[in-house]
Every structure is written in structure tokens, then in C-alpha cells.
Structure 1
Amino acid sequence: MTTSARDPHEHYDAADVRALIEENPLAWVVAGGGSEATTLPLIGEFGEEGQLTALVGHFARGNPIEDALLTDPRATILFTGPQGHIPTRLALRDNWAPTWNYARVRVDAEITLTPERTGQAVDLLLQAMEGSGEDAWSVDALGDRYAGMIARIVGFRAVVTRVRGRFKLGQGEDLATLQSIIAGLPDRELARWMERFNADRLQQ
């Protein structure tokens, strides 16, 4: 997958999108032509070729975004991955200007509220966050409180219409500068994503 034949920061594939969303599930959901926005953890659905096809989530009843989506189901969903300042000292070159590296994905989608599947939306999130081991928390622990809780939230499914990513992770740096930055970067998550997007060069 790519959105630009010339910009190396817009070269990515479906696996990169999936990894960013699964590692950073909290997204801005912007609806109503930008009139309403909220942050929500979302779980992705993926097609046979690994492409993002939908996102599932839930929010509290009364959230202003509910009315906005009922009026217009179109929404922009913004995921931000690792990001941070890259100072000149890491490049070991005085003539190298500091920069900011980041990974982000923008998803355009149409959202349908699915109150009949609210419980499933909650379970999906719990499965992703808690896992399925013996120590995983379950809604069963709520007992009689569960019915009251689930009545105060509503599930939704966002069908993806477009995905646009931008991953500015050192692709334009010469190899020696790239290696120096990665080695000295305190944020090891950002360093790991820089390694991911420059794997071919770093393995030379």
C-alpha cells in the first residue's frame, strides 16, 4: 500500500497500519464535519489480505458525538503512533537540523451505531487489552451491575472507506546518521519503528 510514488514517508503496507492500530488503539474520532470529536479505543477488523476493513468501539450514551453520527455517519479517525523530537546531537553532525519523527494513520469511515452488539464491542476490547489467560478480567465480575453499565453505552462499527498513512521514520537519512540516531534515541519504541521502516538498509 502506498499513497505517494515520490514521498518515502507515505510508503507503507497493510501490516504497518495494523501494527500501529493494535499498538496504539486510542484514536480521535471526529464527526459532524469536525463539530464533534472524542478519543476512543478501537479494535480493527482486517480482510483476507490484511487490509483494514472496519473498526469497532463503544462510547457513553450522551456523548455529543452520538447525535453528530446519527445526523451524518461519516467520520475521520486519527491514530497516532510513536513520535518524538530528534535532536542534532544524535546525528553526530553539526550541519544536521533537528526534526520530529512520527507515525500516523488517518481513516475515513462511515459509522453505524450497533446497540444490539454493544456487549460484543466491549468483549472485543477486553480480549485485546486483557487477553484470555487465567488472570484476564471478565465482565462476569460485575454481576448484577453489568446490565446497568451496558445500558449506559452504545457500540458502533466504522466501515473503512479510505486509509492514509504517513510514517516519517528516518527513511531519508544516510545510513551512518540513521544508525547513530537509532542507537542514541531514548524512546526505544520510536527507535523500533525506525528500524522497522529501514530494515533493508540496516541489514546491509
Structure 2
Amino acid sequence: MRSTAGSTAPTGTRPEHEGQVRRFTSAERMVHRATGCLMLLCLVTAACLYIGPLALLVGRRHLMVTVHEWSGILLPLPFLLGLFSPAFRADLRRLNRFAVYDRQWLRAVRRRRTAPEARPAGKFNAGQKLYAGWIAGAVLVMMFTGLLMWFMGLLPFLSRTSAIFVHDILAWAITFVLLGHMRKALEDPEARLGMRTGYVSRSWAELRHSRWLRDE
């Protein structure tokens, strides 16, 4: 959304200043933070359950199991509450839509082209879209296998051993993917600013997400 200094904004939000653009609403940032906290709880408690030295150090296995189970069960809740936000629903539509320039972005990554014009992107680049889709699917599989372990006999034709195997392998995959996500965030202070305050500089948006500004 383009605006100039002195433009008005709804009550409870600050006006956009010259050189800034609104990237995320408060609802979107709350969904991201709540999901991140629940995911972190899942991973930390899983580590306390399955990594021997850490399990001995922390102890309280029953508490760790309870926190792990309920943080996993509640993981979709921020997403479901976010559906009440029009801005969040609009971003979901953006994440679910692959455009021609997204394929150009992926080709540029494969060919190690770093020039901004070689990597055109909308509000979310192709990498972010792939990450969002992958993590959403992974969370659903983790919840399914977790419920199978929690309620043995839920699906008698699936063994608990198989559920544990898939759950554990996918947990490691999620850990590595999340570490990559966090590394990318640490490399881009402006992106972190957008998630923290909701605003980014127009120059950054034009450089990294030029299609977004053009579409808006």
C-alpha cells in the first residue's frame, strides 16, 4: 500500500511515514509469534524427552510429556484464529499462488544469481511460499502421528512403531528447516523489523519485493 507523510491510519495504528510501507498487521504478527512460541515449546520439550543428557539434566519427564503434547495440539490454534483477519486471509491467498516471477526467482537461486532484478518477488518470495507449504504439511503429519502415539488403537491397522518412526524423522527435518528459516531471518534485519513493528522501508520493499508494491 502506497502512502505519503501525513496520511491517515485507523485508530490504534500509526500512520505510514515517507519511506515506509505497512507489511504486516498486528493480527498477522500475533499469529506468527504465537505459532513460533508453540513450535519452540514442541522442539524444546522433544529434546528434553529424547536427548539423553538433556533429559537427565532437566528431569520431570511427565511434565515435559504434558507440555509437548498440549503445545502440539494447540499449534494450529493461532492459524485458526488468524482466519478472522482479512489481512491474514489475503496473505494466505498470496502464499498459495505461484506466479511466473516465482519460477524466475527459483531459477535465479539455482543459478546463484544475487542481483535483485534476477529474483523478482511479490509480498512473499518463492522460497517463503515453499517453506510455508512444507511446514503446514509437516505440522499436520506431526499432529496425526502424535495423536496415534497418544491414543494407541486409534487406527489399529497402523502400528505405534511406525508412527514413532515418522514422528521422529519429521521432527529432525522440521528442526533443520526451522534453523534455516531463522538463519535467513538473522541475515535480513529489515525483514525482522517488518515482523516486529509491521513496517518496512520502501527502499527494501522495492529491492526485495518489487512485485508486491507494483500489485498494491
Q: Shorter-chain TM-score category?
A: under 0.3
Task: Name the structure where strand makes up a greater proportion of residues.
Answer: 1
Query: TM-score scaled to structure 1, two decimals?
Result: 0.22
Task: Name the structure where helix makes up a greater proportion of residues.
Answer: 2
